[in-house]
Structure 1
């Protein structure tokens, strides 16, 4: 009897609310954008040095976006969706 009741209660509930999932998707998008901005900068010829790898975008902007994205993820997990 108790087992059937537990199955009914847990069947229709999500762990997080709609607001939490929205923030998680935003955080995931910011992280993906950071990794996309970090990519590239290589040279086709291994004997030629490309100073593109030391650009502001790859050294400062992209890692900052990744860290901000992780911060948004933590906020989304800790956010209480029932609080008004």
Structure 2
């Protein structure tokens, strides 16, 4: 059982609980992986710097990763 601790206001704060739910953390990891994938696409190999993959696809993938991160943070966990 988690111990409760009193803060300055005198209310009890439960210790040992995570801020987000399990699914939120999973979504955050997925978002982080998508962001990393976008940066890898930007880096790419040698070649034309104005390639479609580098200037169009990769930024879209990175932005999608940030959208997933924001969704993961704002999503309310289901009551258990």
Normalization by structure 2: what TM-score?
0.78
**Pairwise CA RMSD:** 2.2
Instruction: Please report how far the alpha carbon of residue 9 of structure 1 lies from its aligned counterpart in structure 2 after TM superposition.
Output: 1.9
Q: Quick check: which one's helix share is greater?
A: 1
Among 31, 45, 51, the residue aligned to 1:27: 31
Distance between the aligned counterparts of 1:76 and 1:15, measured in 2? 12
- 1:59 is aligned to 55
Normalization by structure 1: what TM-score?
0.75
Q: Is the 8 A contact 1:41 1:53 kept in 2?
A: no
Moved over 6 A (4+): none
- 1:5 is aligned to 4
Instruction: Please report how far the alpha carbon of residue 56 of structure 1 lies from its aligned counterpart in structure 2 after TM superposition.
Output: 0.6
The one of the two structures with greater contact order (alpha-carbon pairs below 8 A, sep at least 6) is 1
Stretches of structure 2 lacking an aligned partner (at least 5 in a row):
7-12
